[in-house]
C-alpha cells in the first residue's frame, strides 16, 4: 500500500520518514564533527560527506511536502488523543520542515558566500575559509541545535505513545502493513 489509510501510514510516507531520520542523524553527526574539527583537512572530509547528505535531505523534505500536499492524506490522530497534543504534534512537524529548509538555505548561503566548494571538493591549493566569518553560519548552527531538540521531543513523544499510552501510534509509522492495534 503506497498511500496512507485512516489507520496507518503508507509505504511512501514510511520510507521517506525513516530514510530522512537516518540521514538527519548522519547529517547532524557530520556537521557537529566538521564544526569541531581542529584541522582543515578533517573539516573538509566531514563536509564532503555532509553536503551531499544535506542535499538528499532537502530533496526528501521537498518530496515529503509535495507528497502530503498533493498525493496522500495523513492517518487520523490516535484515538483519545487530546486536541492540544494533536496541535503540538502538527506544530513539531511544521517546525521540522521549516528548520530543515532553513538549514538548507543557510548551508547553501555559506557555500556561496564563502566560496568553499573548491577547497571541500579537492581543488589543488584551495584554502578552506573560516565559516564563522559568514552571516549564514549563525542560523545554521542554531538550526542544528533546534533540530536536535525537535528530534528529542519527537522521539520522546513516540516513546510516550509506545510505552505509556500503548496506543499503537509508533507501529503505524514503523511498517506500512501494521495497524498497531
What are 75-81's contacts with CB under 8 Å, separation 24+?
A: 75/4, 75/5, 75/6, 75/7, 75/8, 75/9, 75/172, 76/6, 76/7, 78/161, 78/165, 78/167, 78/168, 78/169, 79/167, 80/167, 81/167
Give the structural domain span for 106. 11-174
CA distance 173 to 77: 12
* pLDDT tens per residue, range 46-73: 999 999 999 999 999 999 999 999 999 9
Q: Is residue 147 part of a domain?
A: yes
Examine residue 6 and state whether it is found in any structural domain, yes or no: no
Task: Outline where the chain has alpha helix (H).
Answer: 11-36, 40-66, 83-114, 117-120, 137-160, 169-174
* pLDDT confidence tier of residue 181, bands split at 50, 70 and 90: very low
165: CATH? 1.20.950
pLDDT digits 0-9 by tens, 4-35 = 999 899 999 999 999 999 999 999 999 999 99
Give a yes or no: residue 1 inside a domain: no
Domain count, the chain: 1
Residue 5 lies in a domain: no
pTM score, whole prediction: 0.92
Instruction: Establish if 3 belongs to a structural domain.
Output: no
| pLDDT category of residue 133 using cuts at 50, 70 and 90 | very high
DSSP string of 154-177?
A: HHHHHHHIIIII--SHHHHHH-TT
173 vs 140, residue with greater confidence? 140
pLDDT tens, position by position, 76-117: 988 888 999 999 999 999 999 999 999 999 999 999 999 999
Q: Is residue 71 part of a domain?
A: yes
Amino acid at each position: 500500500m503506497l498511500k496512507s489509510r485512516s489507520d496507518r501510514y503508507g509505504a511512501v510516507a514510511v520510507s521517506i520518514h525513516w530514510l530522512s531520520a537516518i540521514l538527519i542523524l548522519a547529517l547532524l553527526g557530520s556537521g557537529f564533527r566538521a564544526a569541531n574539527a581542529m584541522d582543515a583537512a578533517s573539516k573538509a572530509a566531514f563536509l564532503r560527506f555532509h553536503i551531499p547528505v544535506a542535499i538528499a535531505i532537502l530533496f526528501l523534505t521537498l518530496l515529503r511536502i509535495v507528497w502530503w500536499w498533493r498525493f496522500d492524506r495523513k492517518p487520523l490522530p490516535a484515538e483519545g488523543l487530546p486536541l492540544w497534543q494533536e496541535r503540538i504534534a502538527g506544530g513539531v512537524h511544521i517546525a521540522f520542515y521549516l528548520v530543515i529548509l532553513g538549514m538548507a538555505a543557510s548551508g547553501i548561503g555559506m557555500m556561496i558566500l564563502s566560496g568553499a566548494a573548491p577547497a571541500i571538493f579537492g581543488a589543488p591549493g584551495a584554502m578552506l575559509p573560516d565559516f564563522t566569518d559568514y552571516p549564514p553560519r549563525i542560523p545554521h548552527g542554531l538550526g542544528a541545535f533546534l533540530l536536535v531538540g525537535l528530534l528529542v521531543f519527537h522521539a520522546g513523544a513516540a516513546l510516550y505513545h509506545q510505552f505509556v499510552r500503548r496506543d499503537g501510534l509508533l507501529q503505524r509509522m514503523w511498517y506500512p502493513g501494521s495497524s498497531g492495534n
